[in-house]
Amino acid sequence: MSGVENVSRRRFLIGTGIAGGLVLGVWFYGSRGERAPAAVVPSGTSRPAFEPNVFVGIAPDGTVTIVCHRSEMGQQVRTSIAQVVADELDADWSRVVVAQAQADEKFGSQNTDGSRSIRRNFSRLREAGASARAMLEQAAADRWAVPVTECRATLHEVVHGPSGQTLGFGELAEAASALEPPPSRDLKLKSPADWRYIGRPTPSVDLKEIVTGQGIFGMDVQLDGMMVAVIARPPVLFGKPQAFDAAPALAVPGVERVFELPTLKPPAGFKPLGGVAVVATDTWAAIQGRRALDITWEEGRNASYDSGAYRAALLETARKKGRVVREQGDVDEALARAHKTLTAEYYVPHLAQAPMEPPVATARVTEGKAELWSSTQTPQVTRREVAQALGVDESGVTVNVTLLGGGFGRKSKPDFSVEAALVSREVGAPVKVMWTREDDLQNGYLHAVSCQHLEAAIDARGQTNAWLHRTVFPPIGSTFDEDQTFASKGDLSQGFVDNPFDIDHMRLENGRAEGHVRIGWMRSVANIYHAFAIQSFAHELAVAANRDPKDYLLDLIGPPRTIDLAAMDVNYANYGDPIARYPVDTGRLRNVIETVSKAAQWGRALPEGRGLGIAAHRSFLAYVATVVEVEVTPDGDFTIPAVWVAIDAGTVVNPDHVRNQCEGGSVYGLSAALGQLTAKDGAIEQRNFDTYEVARMRQAPRSFEVEVVQSTEPPAGVGEPPTPPFAPALCNALFDATGMRIRSLPIGNQLRA
């Protein structure tokens, strides 16, 4: 099959009801004059959510439409969801088109975050395809008046075994539409050995459009009569305009309206920040108009936020005993009697998700109704928040999802879509609200800044026998409830309480920290700083014990076993999935370390100035180990000639896309070691990519080797797990090359000291 030629057949369905209409047209239940009733399946519940018609449509011409209910932001979910459904349906891939779902509860959760799209949908997508296949087989059996057991769907047609007769899917669509879907328990799923598409490196369905500039991202939406708005938002959280002069902005040709948006009241939540909207006939006029605005801000109570002073306060907290969240043995006693102790403190600054496409949404609000086209990771949350902000019923709000020019958690927040709805209502026309890069960096939902304090005891044989770890960071919950100053169960379940080390005396603590900016999710979230501290400190202990870092890491992890956190009274979230199905399995963690070490030829001699570093981390139920090779110049500049990644994400749908996520997730981890957002007088100091550094071509790894562990375990997350091990593996490599230890990010000029 030539995926390259075939992809041109698959169009991205989007627009003013085009997607919905087309899908309705091919819906085979549609021939009864109604769509199947919506099933409301809240995320994370075990309630059966199966409705094959939600995902599959077959037209009389044989075109199979597979509905992707998750947002495409580079993980190729539109392709992988279609692969799963098409496989169980036994469709011909060249006759499959992918439709993008609007916000609708009938799909269950559409929140595209937490590396959940495949792991939470794999079974139901398979069942959706298998159900449709069974109905087509039944329709064929009825037509031929033969037992259904003699009929089998194969590559877009049903074959009658004994006679060899065939009927195409399209020919059967109408007859199948009159049948009841079989009960879930009667469905026969394929054996993995029979999979056609699952587990195969299938090219992205959107590839051709992307490389020819035809893909429709949120920024690219155009509606008749559409205006463009940019918003001057308060530089300080909960600030508001004290006074502003709209006249200079209105004097810019093309600027039509300038008005104030509602002031944001705590908590920030998902609500817009307020400020002054400038609405114009075109983008450049809107940007020029905002530039001309003269606003005096009333900055409010966060105006004293200073990231330098805040860092000092976090560190002070991290040096004191905090709330204990996991304890075994007697750490204090073990530290007091230790042969040798080691203490280290790690700092990771505020970071920005900074997707290449800044937040953007287009809204058309009419009396009691709204339609949006949004670059959103959370269409249903968007619909809810827009309905609330407009004071209309959710049923009157339609949310269309465009391609996302990156998301990384920023586009999980619907604030920008709500802005578009509010501005459209005010001006009585369709409006696109676009964020500039300055807006994105200065008014975002920041990755939490963190300080961590670690102490360990090493015995006479060089073994670590005590581990004290305190983590302090403003929790994401502070964005939604200002009184939340301790980390949540979810925050601490991201690579902190699930520490995989086999150490007799261990105590894990969390200290309090207040939020002064909006704190939000960023790809792999709290795992970033937890993996950085734990995997860096493990390396420091190896050095202190004069041991090979990889061998020492394996010793710290100890023998293959599952860690019973419940038995330790640890409140562990396990990414919302059952621990029995997805245990914390040190055997799998060890395996990715062994695999990556072998690939990287760990232990080989390196030329002067080169170093190797390793780190491993379980997150989103997947296990990833990374080896980074660095080359450091005498001036303290470094490059990354090569990176090796091993991932065990259980069953994978598309190994090439998993590799791509491992490469990209590593670069994202590199950027986390290069950039920082700082605040002064409550406002973010960085404005654009000149001051907010992210990895560029010359800094990025020149080559990658990714090993995807063959596994029949249930699917785990893929989009986020490659990020956490990267920064510690990099800094461990830098130590190996230079003897200089990076404990505070960004790396900046620390190697030039």
Partner 1 sequence: MRIRVNGRSHEFDGDPNTPLLWVLRDTLRLTGTKFGCGAALCGACTVHLDGNAVRSCVTPVQAVGNAEVTTIEGLSEGGSHPLTEAWVELGVPQCGYCQPGQLMQAAALLSAGTPPSDDEIDQAMSGNLCRCGTYARIRAAIHKASQTR
Residues between 395 and 454 that touch partner 1 (CB under 8 A): 403-408, 434, 436-437
Look up residue 597 and give its two tokens. 């070490």
139 vs 434 by CB, closer to partner 1: 434
Site for partner 1 in 287-316 (CB under 8 A): 287-288
Integer CA distances (angstroms), 412 to 383, 404, 416, 746, in order? 12, 11, 10, 25
At closest approach, how far in Å is the CB of 278 from partner 1?
15
320 vs 696 by CB, closer to partner 1: 696
Interface residue with partner 1, options 137, 220, 385, 577 (CB under 8 A): 220
DSSP string of 230-253? EEE--SSTT-EEEEEE-HHHHTST
At closest approach, how far in Å is the CB of 550 from partner 1?
24
At closest approach, how far in Å is the CB of 253 from partner 1?
7
Task: Give strand ranges (E) for 174-293.
Answer: 227-232, 240-245, 255-261, 275-280
Interface residue with partner 1, options 228, 448, 545, 709 (CB under 8 A): 228
At closest approach, how far in Å is the CB of 668 from partner 1?
6
- Alpha-carbon distance of 88 to 195, in angstroms, equals 8
573 vs 700 by CB, closer to partner 1: 700
Site for partner 1 in 112-151 (CB under 8 A): none
Cβ neighbours around 694 below 10 Å, total: 17
Look up residue 478 and give its two tokens. 């502070």
Site for partner 1 in 235-274 (CB under 8 A): 253-254
The SS3 call for residue 512 is coil
Q: What is the DSSP letter of 165?
A: -
Cα four-point dihedral sign 522, 526, 527, 529: positive
614 vs 662 by CB, closer to partner 1: 662
Cβ neighbours around 192 below 10 Å, total: 10
- Alpha-carbon distance of 289 to 250, in angstroms, equals 7
Site for partner 1 in 335-364 (CB under 8 A): 354-358
**Beta carbons within 8 Å of 222's beta carbon, 6+ residues apart:** none
Site for partner 1 in 519-548 (CB under 8 A): none
At closest approach, how far in Å is the CB of 658 from partner 1?
12
User: Which segment (175-183, 386-394, 567-575, 657-665) binds partner 1 by CB under 8 A?
Assistant: 657-665
Q: Residues 271-287, buried b or exposed e (16+ Cβ, 10 A)?
A: bbbbbbbbbbeebebbb
Position 51 contacts partner 1 (CB under 8 A):
no
Size of site (CB under 8 A) for partner 1: 71
Q: Are 289 and 252 in contact (CB under 8 A)?
A: yes
203 vs 414 by CB, closer to partner 1: 203
Does residue 746 have a cis bond before it (omega within 30 degrees)?
A: yes
Interface residue with partner 1, options 185, 461, 604, 698 (CB under 8 A): 698
Beta strands 610-619; 622-632: pairing state: antiparallel
Q: Are 441 and 688 in contact (CB under 8 A)?
A: yes
Backbone angles phi, psi at 606, to 5 degrees: -120, 150
133 vs 411 by CB, closer to partner 1: 411
Encoded one letter per residue, x for contact with partner 1 by CB under 8 A and - for no contact, window 61-100 reads -----------xxxxx------------------------
Cβ neighbours around 391 below 10 Å, total: 8
DSSP string of 429-460? S-EEEE--HHHHHHSS-BBPPEEEEEEEEE-T
39 vs 226 by CB, closer to partner 1: 226
538 vs 627 by CB, closer to partner 1: 627
Site for partner 1 in 185-214 (CB under 8 A): 201, 203-204, 206-208, 210-214
User: Which segment (133-141, 238-246, 421-429, 702-710) binds partner 1 by CB under 8 A?
Assistant: 702-710
Integer CA distances (angstroms), 602 to 148, 307, 586, 628, in order? 57, 39, 20, 10
Integer CA distances (angstroms), 380 to 42, 56, 622, in order? 11, 20, 27
Position 679 contacts partner 1 (CB under 8 A):
no
User: Which segment (137-145, 185-193, 507-515, 656-664) binds partner 1 by CB under 8 A?
Assistant: 656-664
Instruction: For the chain, state the CA radius of gyration.
Output: 27
Site for partner 1 in 445-504 (CB under 8 A): none
464 vs 661 by CB, closer to partner 1: 661
49 vs 640 by CB, closer to partner 1: 640
41 vs 249 by CB, closer to partner 1: 249
Encoded one letter per residue, x for contact with partner 1 by CB under 8 A and - for no contact, window 270-289 reads ------------xxxx-xx-
147 vs 225 by CB, closer to partner 1: 225
Interface residue with partner 1, options 9, 265, 393, 689 (CB under 8 A): 689
At closest approach, how far in Å is the CB of 260 from partner 1?
24
Q: Are 404 and 376 in contact (CB under 8 A)?
A: yes
The SS3 call for residue 304 is helix
202 vs 471 by CB, closer to partner 1: 202
Position 222 contacts partner 1 (CB under 8 A):
yes
127 vs 357 by CB, closer to partner 1: 357
Interface residue with partner 1, options 134, 219, 246, 621 (CB under 8 A): 219
Q: Are 260 and 229 in contact (CB under 8 A)?
A: no
DSSP string of 400-416? EE-B-S--TTGGG--HH
Interface residue with partner 1, options 330, 656, 685, 713 (CB under 8 A): 656
- Alpha-carbon distance of 271 to 409, in angstroms, equals 16
Interface residue with partner 1, options 47, 608, 690, 739 (CB under 8 A): 690
